[in-house]
Amino acid sequence: MEKLLEVKNLEVSFQTYGGTVKAVRGVSFDLHKGETLAIVGESGSGKSVTSQSIMKLIPMPPGRITGGQILLSGDDIVPKTEKQMEKIRGKEISMIFQDPMTSLNPTMRVGTQIMEVLIKHQNMSKTDAKNRAIELLRLVGIPMPEKRVDQYPHEFSGGMRQRAMIAIALAANPKLLIADEPTTALDVTIQAQILELMKDLQNKMDTSIIFITHDLGVVANVADRVAVMYAGQIVEMGTVDEIFYDPRHPYTWGLLASMPSLENDDKADLAAIPGTPPDLTNPPKGDAFAARNKYALAIDFEEEPPMFQISETHFAKTWLLHPDAPKVEPPEAVKKRIRQLSSTFEKPVIVKEGK
Amino acid sequence: MAEKLLEIKNLKQHFNVGRPNMVKAVDGITFDIYKGETLGLVGESGCGKSTTGRTIIRLYDATDGQVLFEGEDVHGKKSAKELKKFNRKMQMIFQDPYASLNPRMTVADIIAEGIDIHGLVKSRKERMERVYELLDTVGLNKEHANRYPHEFSGGQRQRIGIARALAVDPDFIIADEPISALDVSIQAQVVNLMKKLQREKGLTYLFIAHDLSMVKYISDRIGVMYFGKLVELAPAEDLYNNPMHPYTQSLLSAIPLPDPETERSRRRKSYDPAVHNYADNEKLEMREVTPGHFVYCSEKEYNELKAKSGK
């Protein structure tokens, strides 16, 4: 498959009064055409900063990309100027934000906000743009688009606004769509509709999607591949089946075990991950997750773990996969999920040394 | 079954009464809450679940209906002294741990506010001891007492909110979306804490949320609300395994589960209120279809459901 996006060793930091916050610490991943990659992690894990860096939307200063490359169809966008970025944003890459209430302009008609994109990137005339805007609103499932196109955002419900946002994002047929928690503010029934809509449009337009969320249910629903982020790094990455049925990193175990399952009737305590994420002004030595990890080995507090490869597509950054590591049993709730996947290598292979 | 702690009878909460934009946020709901249980209340935003919680604790004055706490009406005329007595027994934990703590008060003052108002301690020393004890109960430590809310993370703030609610030794706590604003890994911590406190202190909870998997986990019984009405009320297991009202079925079919295979084969049901096809003269009310499982339906639907569940 064709690679649309390659992120190599991305590092982003922010200058604050308290010191430099290293929000993203060496993130690498790639994205194929028509694929959905979900990035999961808690607040402060760097998932939003990573995605905003891809669009270069992080405020600079205080933010700064301190290292790495972001290759969009082979072209590095890190050194690009603001002017050059304007040609990319909306046309090549677009973004859907979490809060549809605040990300639409309340003083502009919804139709005009869609037309803006078309007039800028497709050089359409006003009338053509308006017709296309109506078409797009119909495409995202808004009833009576001829009437709705002239309305203001406050006349739309939350789910409708998110649909309008999607219409704006897709107006110029972008190759890459970044969705930053697009359904978190919505009700479950509306969320289900929006997810269905996004999948449907992806099939029609062959767009690649980066889907940022902390809801593992949503991940299972939309993703082809999943990247789990913790403290500014990807700690595990694999296909959706590998992450849910054969997770290897203790943080992924923790996330999966801390969710109650609907089928599970037992009322035992949830396996919560103790403590809180580390302060990234001063990232801890060794494995950033060690302090919250009951499986932590002595070496975790000393040396950062290397990235191990478990299958063609499955990677995990934990010392537990080292041949010398003791064999540990994942938590009960995770053990129930585990299945033998045929693609797994016989032995994990080190692909990248930790620093 | 255990004794009733709270009886809610035909509770109504209408806003803008008499004006064209009148909203029937809660429109005649009836249910009981038993001592020591957790009742979950779920529904979409705008269905009136939060308003129900707030009306029960008298943050709003009910338009109509009764809330009986241990047999006494919460609403209606009361002397300041009687009101104070109620306020001690009923407490609330709010959704937003950022907005519900006064940023200009120290944690100790936030927690002890209720203690001071109700005069529960005699000396400053005793007051601080009580605060330390509460901090310890919710998994924070002594040193946190003199700090301000902005120095804490979301999960820690929610713990402070819980400590504040516990300060006056309540019997009943209304938790309005207590975990919605928290990260997944922190949600489990707070839920475990709430369960632990319930076991130790015999608390009764009304747990309002839209995350159905968490609600099922923590609740003994669950009520589903739709447009100001309670449409189904059943034991948690029963509601999940055998949802009877079409709205409940649609709600359950929309929850994404962390299992890729189930997700690939998911068939979502949508709910259209027109399916009921109620005639004008049909009486709609909560009817008990199987023991403990109530559905808001007409006589005809009741008979159909009854026949189906009898099989």
Closest residue in A to B214 (Cα–Cα): A260
Tokens of A329: 């049993």
What CA–CA distance (Å, rounded) separates A202 from A208?
A: 7
What CA–CA distance (Å, rounded) separates B73 from B251?
A: 33
Closest residue in A to B240 (Cα–Cα): A262
Q: Would you state the pLDDT for residue A264? A: 59
Contact predicate A204/A218, CB 8 Å: no
Q: Where are the alpha helices (DSSP H) in chain A?
A: 47-54, 82-88, 100-103, 110-121, 126-139, 145-148, 158-170, 188-205, 216-222, 240-245, 250-257, 332-335
What's the residue count for chain A?
A: 355
What CA–CA distance (Å, rounded) separates A273 from B124?
A: 36
Closest residue in B to A44 (Cα–Cα): B183
Q: Tell me: do B20 and B126 sit in the same domain.
A: yes
Q: Is the ipTM of this complex over 0.90?
A: no
Residues pairing with B66 in the sheet: B9
Task: Count residue pairs from A and B with Cβ separation < 8 A.
Answer: 111
Q: Would you state the pLDDT for residue B255? A: 84
Decide if B235 is inside a domain: no
- Count how many domains chain B has: 2
Q: Tell me: do B49 and B163 sit in the same domain.
A: yes
Decide if B232 is inside a domain: no
Which one, of A292, A203, A28, lies nearest residue B189 by Cα?
A292
Chain A contacts of B262, Cβ < 8 Å?
A: 220
Q: Tell me: do B112 and B212 sit in the same domain.
A: yes
Decide if B173 is inside a domain: yes
Tokens of A287: 């494995």
Domain final position from B198, B227, B256: B227
* Domain of residue B150, CATH code: 3.40.50.300
Q: Do A258 and B270 touch (CB under 8 A)?
A: no
Q: Which residues of A84-107 are buried (b: 16+ CB within 10 A; e: fewer)?
A: eeeebbbbbbbbbbbbbeebbeee
- Could you give the 3-state DSSP secondary structure of residue A216? helix
Q: Tell me: do B296 and B194 sit in the same domain.
A: no
Measured from the Cβ of residue A279, the count of other Cβ atoms closer than 10 Å reads 13
Tokens of B27: 């429109």
- Could you give the 3-state DSSP secondary structure of residue A225? strand
Q: Would you state the pLDDT for residue B1? A: 54
Contacts of B56 (CB under 8 A, 6+ apart): B6, B8, B11, B67, B74, B90, B174, B206
Which one, of B41, B38, B31, lies nearest residue B67 by Cα?
B31
Cβ-based burial of B113 (10 A; exposed 0-12, middle 13-18, buried ≥19): middle
Q: Do A262 and B255 touch (CB under 8 A)?
A: yes
Domain final position from B169, B193, B227: B227
Decide if B234 is inside a domain: no
Decide if B53 is inside a domain: yes
Residue type, B246: P
Predicted confidence (pLDDT) per residue in B131-164, tens digit: 999 998 888 888 888 999 988 888 888 889 999 9
HSE value, Cβ hemisphere, 13 Å, CA-based, for A354: 22
Residue B283 has pLDDT above 80, yes or no: yes
Q: How far apart are the first and last CA of chain A?
A: 31
From the list A42, A216, A276, the residue facing B258 with the nearest CB is A216
Mean pLDDT of B246-274: 85
**Domain span at residue B251?**
245-311
pLDDT tens, chain A, 355 aa long: 688 999 999 999 998 887 888 899 999 999 999 999 999 988 778 888 898 899 888 888 888 899 899 998 888 988 888 889 888 888 889 998 877 778 889 999 999 999 988 998 888 899 999 999 998 898 888 888 999 999 998 888 877 888 888 888 888 888 899 998 888 777 788 888 888 888 988 988 889 999 998 888 899 999 999 999 999 999 999 999 999 999 999 999 988 888 877 665 566 777 788 877 888 888 888 888 888 888 888 888 888 899 999 888 999 999 988 888 888 888 888 888 888 887 788 888 888 766 5
When pLDDT is cut at 50, 70 and 90, the band that residue B101 belongs to is very high
Q: Would you state the pLDDT for residue A330? A: 85
What residues of A are in the B interface, CB distance below 8 Å? 42-43, 158, 187-192, 195-196, 214-221, 240-241, 244-245, 254-256, 258-262, 265, 267, 269-274, 276, 337
Predicted confidence (pLDDT) per residue in B16-65, tens digit: 888 888 888 888 899 999 999 999 999 887 788 888 999 998 888 888 88
Measured from the Cβ of residue B99, the count of other Cβ atoms closer than 10 Å reads 11
Q: What DSSP line would sit under chain B, residue for residue?
A: -PPEEEEEEEEEEEESTTSTT-EEEEEEEEEEEETT-EEEEE--TTSSHHHHHHHHTTSS--SEEEEEETTEESSS---HHHHHHHHHHEEEE-S-TTTSS-TTS-HHHHHHHHHHHTT--SSHHHHHHHHHHHHHHTT--GGGGGS-GGGS-HHHHHHHHHHHHHTT--SEEEEESTTTTS-HHHHHHHHHHHHHHHHHH--EEEEE-S-HHHHHHH-SEEEEEETTEEEEEEEHHHHHHS--SHHHHHHHHH---S-HHHHHT-------GGGG---TTPPPEEEEEETTEEEEE-HHHHHHHHHHHH-
Q: Would you state the pLDDT for residue B217? A: 87
DSSP state of A66: E
When pLDDT is cut at 50, 70 and 90, the band that residue B245 belongs to is very high
Which one, of B209, B170, B193, B161, lies nearest residue B40 by Cα?
B209
Chain B contacts of A101, Cβ < 8 Å?
A: none
From the list A220, A262, A272, the residue facing B192 with the nearest CB is A272
C-alpha distance from B163 to closest chain A C-alpha (Å): 18
Q: Angle B154-166/B184-201 helices, nearest 10 degrees?
A: 20
Tokens of A298: 């002595």
Residue B105 has pLDDT above 70, yes or no: yes
Q: Do B44 and A187 touch (CB under 8 A)?
A: yes
Residues of chain A with CATH 3.40.50.300: 3-223
The residue to which tokens 């992450």 are assigned: A243
Q: Do A214 and B184 touch (CB under 8 A)?
A: yes
From the list A262, A269, A276, the residue facing B257 with the nearest CB is A262
Architecture of the domain spanning A3-223: 3-Layer(aba) Sandwich (3.40)
HSE value, Cβ hemisphere, 13 Å, CA-based, for A165: 29
Chain B contacts of A260, Cβ < 8 Å?
A: 213-214, 216-217
DSSP state of A89: B
Q: Tell me: do B79 and B121 sit in the same domain.
A: yes
Q: Do B217 and A270 touch (CB under 8 A)?
A: yes
Q: Would you state the pLDDT for residue A241? A: 92
What CA–CA distance (Å, rounded) separates A165 from A80?
A: 26
Cα dihedral A104, A110, A111, A115, rounded to 10, equals: -10
Predicted confidence (pLDDT) per residue in A146-156, tens digit: 999 999 988 88
Q: Do B260 and A195 touch (CB under 8 A)?
A: no
Chain B contacts of A190, Cβ < 8 Å?
A: 44
What CA–CA distance (Å, rounded) separates A202 from A174?
A: 11
Rounded to the nearest angstrom, the gap between the alpha carbon of residue B177 and the centroid of all alpha carbons in its chain is 8
Determine what percent of chain B is predicted with pLDDT higher than 90.
34
Domain final position from B167, B194, B227: B227
- Could you give the 3-state DSSP secondary structure of residue A180? strand
Angle at A143 between CA A137 and CA A147, to 5 degrees: 75
Residue type, A178: I
pTM comes to 0.83
Tokens of B117: 């108002």
- Among B49, B184, B213, most A C-beta atoms within 10 A, so best to mutate, is B184
Q: Do B188 and A258 touch (CB under 8 A)?
A: yes
From the list A188, A196, A258, the residue facing B185 with the nearest CB is A258
What CA–CA distance (Å, rounded) separates B260 from A225?
A: 11
Q: Tell me: do B54 and B196 sit in the same domain.
A: yes
Q: Do A189 and B254 touch (CB under 8 A)?
A: yes
Q: Do A217 and B268 touch (CB under 8 A)?
A: no
What CA–CA distance (Å, rounded) separates A208 from A206?
A: 7
Q: Tell me: do B161 and B27 sit in the same domain.
A: yes
Angle at B135 between CA B129 and CA B137, to 5 degrees: 105
Decide if B274 is inside a domain: yes
- Could you give the 3-state DSSP secondary structure of residue A76? strand
